[in-house]
Amino acid sequence: MNARKSSIAYVIGFALLLAAPAAIYPVLIMKVLCFALFACAFNLLLGYTGLLSFGHAMFLGGSAYLTGHALTAWELPTLAGLALGTLGGAVLGALVGMLAIRRQGIYFAMVTLALAQLMYFVLLQSSFSGGENGLQGVPRGSLFGLDLANDYILYYLIVVLFSLTFWLIQRTIQSPFGQTLKAIRENEPRAISLGYDVDRYKLLAFVLSAGLAGLAGSMKTVLFGFATLTDAHWNTSGEVVLMTLLGGMGTVLGPIAGATVIVSLHSELADKVGSLVTVITGFLFVFCVLVFRRGIVGEGIALYHRMIGEKYR
Amino acid sequence: MTDKTVATARPEAEPILETHGLVKEFRGFVAVDGVDLKIRRGHIHALIGPNGAGKTTCFNLLTKFLQPTRGTIRFKGRDITGEAPQRIARTGMVRSFQISAVFPHMTVLENVKVALQRKLGTTFHFWESGASLRRLDEQAMALLASVGLERYADMVTVEMPYGRKRALEIATTLALEPELMLLDEPTQGMGHEDVELVMQLIKKVSVNRTILMVEHNMKVVSGICDAITVLARGAILAEGDYDAVSSNPLVIEAYMGSEAAQLAGAH
Amino acid sequence: MNEIFGIPLPALLGQLMLGLVNGSFYALLSLGLAVIFGMLHIINFAHGALYMMGAMFSWLAMVYLGIGYWRSLLLVPLFVGAIGIVIERFLLQWIYKLDPLYGLLLTFGVALIIGGGFRYVFGSSGQPYSIPPELGGAVDLGFMFLPKYRMWVIVASLTICFATWFMIEKTRLGAYLRAGTENPGLTQAFGINVPVMVMLTYAFGTALAAFAGVLAAPTTQVSPLMSSNMIITVFAVVVIGGMGSIMGSIITGLGLGVIEGLTKVFYAQASSTVVFIVMVIVLMVRPAGLFGKEK
Ligand SMILES: Nc1ncnc2c1ncn2[C@@H]1O[C@H](COP(=O)(O)OP(=O)(O)OP(=O)(O)O)[C@@H](O)[C@H]1O
Ligand SMILES: [Mg+2]
């Protein structure tokens, strides 16, 4: 697909998003957008840098709490709270990244998972976070005099934030930085031998990914008015991996597709089947790893290439 | 002890790279054992030796992909024993790898641009448009032309035959304008014609630079190399020009069998 | 002297003992992870779930089949090992050629299936499993009571750990295993069936996890939730120790159990996080891990 065609597609997608609340309950779409943003941020790391973080919930959850606290206790305006959450995610990302990047591959995944668990216990035990109950009653606040308590008004704020972030991620992937990341992912020793200090590039990717995951968490707090331990739990870390894997890692739209499927699945099933949801999630993992590694979008692209008779690796 | 034959072929140029007592141990196994290497500026220097002699390990030590257990490395008169590998590349020593070192799912042109773009200073700019890299196209094409790959610029690299990938590696390495190029078996696994091509290519790019290469093909070694170091079981067995080395009984003994025959044959 | 830093000695020794008990479980689990990783190059995320299975099965065997502790200690690991074989044959064997990260994701999926399945069937509430009568009670040391069961857990785990270490490092079977890890093609050429060896290695690792589960059953409430955080702690243990050495896993596991136990005495709030904090420190000063051999 060339650049013109894809920008037309994006404009259509944006227009559909703007019109969607007419047909679908806006809170559901907003929830999907929050997780889609989370998964896109995660994909920047897994799909475009080749790093599997198994602790991304710590950025979602950490910023969810931070924004919640900022809006409640410090009474910051909503936008400032969102910005603070993003910044907080990035700072936490820098700290965690510096530690985790010292180990490669599988160890990197384990280190991030363990650090996320540390974060989880910190949130569980510290005084501001409300322990098992989480932070409740976070006000949505207002923006330019518009009351965000109105779902429709909040909806357009979230759509704009999501679209801007999506654009930024796109831009990052295609930037000189993104090109460098790609080289590192393709052949790290060669990149080093060409003079690249690969750890610093990985760290920046990690910080960006963590910051945007933080933004997703902050948006989620504003949307629902609470932050809970679930956001920081390893289950959530696993879920974002699944969204990306199922949608297609390393594809631009994959994480959005994956997030849509998983969020809808959960809202359909959660009340009906109880802990079978976990079992289903487990089977999805197994399915994706064994036979569906390209994911929904990846398979779609492959199919498209086959139809027009082109070779696709 | 080692029997060192003295190179006499050329007037002595100053050494660009020198090692002293270089040792690498892996869990008690000594892979490189007290190597004193001296590479003279402007030479094509071959590092040869039987399989497992420690040639690649030597390369890894020189370019700091591995930390030596003991010993020192001086490059252009400066001690680089404690440097990080990416710093080595920036001081003018660039290596290739024994197994192909391309970026397989990038195009041929992009491969070369990866080497060029670091100098733009924008490699951390995640906000900048990818189009900003287009200004490197011309330079990259010129490099591709120098190794005869300009026609394949837009091909995805995996799809190229092996010989061309190796040529691409050389173009990518050249992009950094290295003073010292380290090539690990650049002709390994190639057909006769490709060997000839790559050999001429190395000869061509060696102008105004120094090359250290691991090579098994004695035709290449005798054809283009000015000096040879023979490594066996991690230690230097002999040094000198081709005639001196190939007639050295220790070398013939170390190689035994087919490769000895090859050595004698090419003589 | 009856106090150390104002803490009564019996309380301190009691926590030390508890720490050793937990450390034994960490050692057994991280040992199993290391053995599996050595052969399959897969980090077995399902390890915690298999541990939970060990405990749940011994409880089920007791309640529904009347099979007691001692027989469970032998039968449950065999049974779970057989489940391990099924997992290896049906799932893992298809991904050996892929990036090891897929192994982590696949076994994560398996962990969810097992964990969620048990929760669906048995709920989340804890079940008591009583200490076998032979090991009930405590030994009176004069200044404190030593519960016999805890001593047994430590002795049994260490015995199994050292037997494993001996088998891998000192016997011919272990030599084959190590050879298979380093050069599968060559080992196959010597007439050893590498795929079967891989399968049995995984089965052995899972049996170790189940063994730990059976040992744990009388020390805690048996429930499908008992493993949900365990595996992450064990991962931290593995990161701290590095997976290069069998003995390293054992020592690290025990040591961290003790540190955790002592933290409970001196600063209880930090007891759930101390292992992770140790991990952070180790990453800062010795990135490859205490016994690591990366690079
Ligand atoms: N990372 C490592 N860990 C342990 N042993 C190693 C390591 N790297 C190399 N070796 C060992 O060191 C010895 C020398 O290996 P090296 O690759 O340097 O040989 P070589 O001369 O390049 O051989 P070839 O001609 O086959 O490329 C070999 O016995 C090899 O097994
Ligand atoms: Mg070699």
Residue A64, Cβ density class (10 Å: 0-12 exposed, 13-18 middle, ≥19 buried): buried
> How confident is the prediction for chain C on average, in pLDDT?
88
Which atom of ligand 1 sits closest to the CA of residue B98? 27
Domain that includes residue A196, residue range: 2-233
**pLDDT number for residue B263:** 52
Q: Judge whether residue C294 has pLDDT over 80.
A: no
Distance B98 CA to ligand 1 centre (A): 12
**Which pLDDT value is given to residue B7?**
43
Q: What is the pTM of this model?
A: 0.90
Give the Å distance between the CA of C116 and the centre of ligand 2.
50
pLDDT at position C1 is 52
Residue B68 has what pLDDT?
92
ipTM exceeding cut-off 0.90 for this assembly: yes
Subunits with at least 3 CB pairs below 8 A relative to chain B? Answer: A, C
pLDDT at B11: 54
Nearest CA in chain B to C293: B27
DSSP letter at A159 equals H
For C44-95, the pLDDT digits (tens) are 999 999 999 999 999 999 999 989 899 999 999 999 999 999 999 999 999 9
Q: How far is the CA of B205 from the centre of ligand 1 (A)?
A: 28
Q: Are strands C145-147 and B15-26 parallel, antiparallel or unpaired?
A: unpaired
- Ligand 1 atom at shortest distance from the alpha carbon of B54: 18
Tell me, yes or no, if A6 comes closer than 8 A to chain B by beta carbon: no
Per-residue pLDDT at A186: 92
Domain residue ranges in chain B? 11-92+180-193+208-267, 96-177
Considering only residues B119 and A246, tell me which one the structure prediction assigns the higher pLDDT.
A246
Q: What is the pLDDT of residue B2?
A: 41
User: So what CATH class is B11-92+180-193+208-267?
Assistant: alpha beta
Contact A10, A17 (CB under 8 A): no
The pLDDT of C200-215, averaged and rounded, is 95
Strand ranges (E), chain C: 3-4, 7-8, 138-140, 145-147
Helix, strand, coil distribution of chain A in percent, nearest 5: 75, 0, 20
Average pLDDT of the residues of chain A: 90
Look at residue B3 in the predicted model and tell me its pLDDT.
42
Phi, psi at residue C48, to the nearest 5°? -65, -40
The whole-angstrom separation of Cα A17 and Cα A292 is 28
Which CATH number describes the domain made up of C3-285?
Answer: 1.10.3470
Q: Which of A53, A103, A110, A125 to mutate to test the interface with C (most CBs of C within 10 A)?
A: A110
Nearest CA to ligand 1 atom 3: B26
- Residue A272 domain flag: no
- Among A118-132, A166-180, B155-169, B218-232, the range with the most confident prediction by mean pLDDT is A166-180
Q: Which atom of ligand 1 sits closest to the CA of residue B29?
A: 5
The predicted structure's pLDDT at residue C293: 63
The pLDDT-based confidence of B12 (bands split at 50, 70, 90) is low
Helical (H) or strand (E) element with B251: helix B249-255
Q: Which residues line ligand 1 (CB under 6 A)?
A: B 26, 29, 31, 49, 51-57, 98
> Distance between CA C222 and CA C216 in Å, rounded?
8
Q: Which residues contact C231 (CB under 8 A, 6 or more apart)?
A: C29, C45, C47, C48, C49, C51, C111
DSSP C203-266: HHHHHHHHHHHHHHGGGS-B-TTTTTTHHHHHHHHHHHH-TT-HHHHHHHHHHHHHHHHHHHHH
Q: Which two tokens stand for residue A263?
A: 């969020």
What's residue B258's pLDDT? 47
pLDDT of residue C36 exceeding 70? yes
- Rounded Cα distance, B249 and A203, in Å: 54
Q: How far apart, in Å, are the Cα atoms of B181 and each of A193, A225, B46, B212, B231?
A: 11, 61, 12, 6, 19
How many domains, in total, are found in chain A? 1
Residue A292 domain-assigned (yes or no): no
- In angstroms, what is the span from residue B57 Cα to ligand 1's centroid? 6
Residue B207 is which amino acid?
V
Q: What is the pLDDT of residue C25?
A: 94
Å from B133 to nearest chain A CA? 7
Beta carbons of A192 and B101 less than 8 Å apart: no
Distance to chain C for B168, nearest Cα, Å: 27
Per-residue pLDDT band for A51 (boundaries 50, 70, 90) equals very high
pLDDT at position B4 is: 41
What is the residue with the minimal CA distance to atom 12 of ligand 1? B31
The residues spanned by each domain of chain C are 3-285
Round to whole Å and give the CA distance between C184 and B102: 28
SS3 state at C7 = strand
Residues C11-23, mean pLDDT to the nearest whole number: 88
**What is the mean predicted confidence (pLDDT) over C137-156?**
86
Could you tell me which residue, B9 or A234, shows the higher pLDDT?
A234
Position C284, amino acid: M
C95–A238 CB contact, under 8 Å = no
Q: What is the pLDDT of residue B266?
A: 46
DSSP B156: B
pLDDT of residue B262: 53
